[in-house]
Structure 1
Amino acid sequence: MNDIRLGVIGLGMRSDLGELAHRPGSGSLVAAVCDRDPRALAHAEERFGARVRTTTDHHELFDAGLDGVFVLTPDHTHEQIGLDFLAAGIPVFLDKPMAITTEGCDRLLEAAREHRTPLYVGHNMRHAPVVVAMRELITRGAIGEVKAVWCRHFVGNGGDYYFKDWHADRRNTTGLLLQKGAHDIDVIHWLAGAYTRRVNAMGALTLYGGLGSRRDRSGERMIDWLSAENWPPLSQTGLAPVVDVEDLSMMQMELDNGVFASYQQCHYAPDNWRNYTVIGTEGRLENFGDTEGAEVRVWNRRSEYRAEADLVVRVHTPPGTHGGADPALVAEFLEFVREGGATVTSPVAAREAVAAGYAATMSLRDGGKAVDVDPVDPKVTAYFEHDQK
């Protein structure tokens, strides 16, 4: 098998996906990288070999003979970089969220269709073992027909993850209900088998906005300041110069198949995990934990409160980042570049997650009024369901 040649745009925290794909002699290699920070480029050779091409301008990679490219830059840059590579005919792995507005996502989908360039969006949670386990239980009818999905997201590392760099500025993300929530909204859609068509939301900057310690962290990465000792949240120091995204938010969704769903997100919880509850016509399931040792429990009998479930599925987490989801995600993208075919992730679903999160953020900032979410153009949906495969 000849190695496919890959590019990596953005050498920040998510560039570990490029390292997973760099297997010279085993099917794929990173041939070129791009980052605006020369300090990041200085380490490219030790990460990807002496022959890796480096540049600060992604346009210079159009003639690098690439078979695919990972776009792993800050969220607000995804759209334009993605459009450029799609127009150049180079298959694109676009990290989530694919864009920070619904319109931006639609432009990307239309560009992929117009240029007939493969587009893949990195929703790695569709490969997370606990999510896969819940999906399989639902698919085989363990709780009957799904009627409600609830997700509580405890972002215990929120102060370090999202309030000390570009994430804290809504110009770069729209808001964390979209940026962080896109993962969970996509999972909710996947478990429910439908997309959101109406939302309302509430939330605010309830804690971090009152902290006066600010610092420009240009040239730093999150691992430089992440520490379990940064606790309690009110003791955090060195927040980003601009902090104007919400740290507490909650949204409600009406899906196009009649399922109702809710999503809550808190960035100063003491623990760091997601809890999903799915209720159907014949029972309820819920995950306890979302990494190694997690369980999915199912209740099918009528009763008062009881901790003992009728079915317990213990979830094994394989090696690799994000509970083994990232290696599976990269493997799927590489196979998609080589062979095409159906994938677990979906560009249309990725757009629908952003659209719901974007509409919810607009609702949150406008008194919580309900907002309708328009579907993807049917011609575009048909392309991704049939032609791209």
Structure 2
Amino acid sequence: MNDLRLGVIGLGVRSDLVDLAHRPGSGSRVVACCDRDPDRLAGQARHRFGADALAVTDHRALLRSDLDGVFVLTPDFTHEAIGLDFLRAGVPVFLDKPLAITTAGCDLLLAAAREHGTPLYVGHNMRHMPVITAMRQVITEGHIGEVKAVWCRHFVGHGGDFFFKDWHADRRNTTSLLLQKGAHDIDVIHWLAGGYSRRVNAMGGLVVYGDVNSRRERTGERMTDWLAPEENWPPLSLRGLNPVVDVEDLSMMQMQLDNGVFASYEQCHFTPDYWRNYTVIGTEGRLENFGDAEGAVVKVWNHRSDYRADADITVPITAQHGTHGGADPLLVQEFLSFITKHGATVTSPVAAREAVAAGYAATESLRSGGQLVEISPPDPDLVAYFDGGQS
């Protein structure tokens, strides 16, 4: 069997994903790559993918490269346009999350995938993370009964370095971090709850990093060039933030799902610790994770008592080999299998759209005084198409 011919758009930090797919002679290889930074392209392309790999600065050149699939790993605000180009050209697309930065953009991508019969896969790797799969298993096995409420607190301890020194800090590029960063957690909330948000409201603000006046342009740099967790603390000591900083560093939203479940999500970008904590409450118990990486545990209480640290069930979390607790290798493996066999996947383009829609509506609410915002569901025919495995 010949190797799948793959392309990659964007050689930034997240391009480590495509290294997992570049396995010449073992089923897939990267034959073409694109990055708008010619220096980055020259320094990486042939070193990583071989002397014969096509290297270009315009993604449209890859449309004519006879690719079996393409990884779009570019900044969020480019996902819609680049994704549409490849979907319309019939090239299967791995589109990193979030699917787009508006609900309308997501709907255009879903419609294009269906219209042209082009496989679309969205990189929601958290659906493969051991802590998330453990919580979902606890729920599906019935240990807490029927889910009625989900709470998530996300402590983004490296937020200043990760999101306030480059394009992420500008709402024109992300809509908000409630959408950009929150799309992961909103998708997980939906997955654990078995439904999608239909009514949301939110509050929040730029409460810390807006007071940091040190700003500078970082064109040509990557996050790994400035990340220094040991040095950049406390948050107000950060220097060299993006010239434009107009996204919130603290936000909280409430959701009512289409199946009656209520949920909340809180996100803070200036905590000393970096992890996410979920609580899921059902009709017969509750679960909560402590930690989200190697050594974490999921605890389940399903017998009445006063406070007790010991749980009725404790599930230890063991990370697998690879980044994000082994989730990224599974994500790439699923995409490669999907473009050859099609069929259902753990990730879902419809769910990706619903996560963006919730984050987009919550941002609208947050910036208009916390008003309630209704979310329209996607076209039922589109839902049926994707639920049917895109065939």
Which TM-score band (shorter chain)?
over 0.9
One-letter identity of the residue aligned with 2:70:
V
State how far apart, in whole Å, the 2-side matches of 1:381 and 1:326 are.
26
State how far apart, in whole Å, the 2-side matches of 1:384 and 1:97 are.
17
Structure 2 length normalisation: TM-score? 0.99
One-letter identity of the residue aligned with 2:237:
S
Pairing of 1:1-389 with structure 2 (within 5 A): 1-42=1-42, 43-228=44-229, 229-386=231-388, 388-389=390-391
Shift of 1:338: 1.2
In structure 2, relative to structure 1, the CA distance for the partners of 1:183 and 1:387 (3 Å cut) is closer
The runs of 5 or more residues in structure 1 that have no matched partner are none
Shift of 1:39: 1.1
Provide Cα deviations, 1:18-51, integer angstroms capped at 9, x if missing partner.
1110000010000100011001111111111111
State how far apart, in whole Å, the 1-side matches of 2:367 and 2:179 are.
13
Moved more, 379-388 or 57-66: 379-388
One-letter identity of the residue aligned with 1:375:
P
One-letter identity of the residue aligned with 1:18:
V
One-letter identity of the residue aligned with 2:209:
Y
Provide Cα deviations, 1:71-105, integer angstroms capped at 9, x if missing partner.
00000000000000000000000000010000000
Provide Cα deviations, 1:349-370, integer angstroms capped at 9, x if missing partner.
0000000000000000000000
State how far apart, in whole Å, the 1-side matches of 2:342 and 2:130 are.
24
One-letter identity of the residue aligned with 1:133:
A
CA contact under 8 A between 2:343 and 2:388: conserved in structure 1? no
In structure 2, relative to structure 1, the CA distance for the partners of 1:183 and 1:103 (3 Å cut) is same
Moved more, 258-267 or 59-68: 59-68
State how far apart, in whole Å, the 2-side matches of 1:384 and 1:55 are.
32
One-letter identity of the residue aligned with 2:133:
V
Root mean square deviation, CA, Å: 0.6
One-letter identity of the residue aligned with 2:174:
T
Q: What stretches of structure 1 move > 3 A for 4+ residues in a row? A: none
The runs of 5 or more residues in structure 2 that have no matched partner are none
One-letter identity of the residue aligned with 1:207:
V
Shift of 1:387: 5.5
Moved more, 42-51 or 187-196: 42-51
CA contact under 8 A between 2:153 and 2:265: conserved in structure 1? yes
Q: What SS does the corresponding residue of 2:325 show, helix, strand or coil?
A: coil
Question: How many residue pairs get matched?
Answer: 389
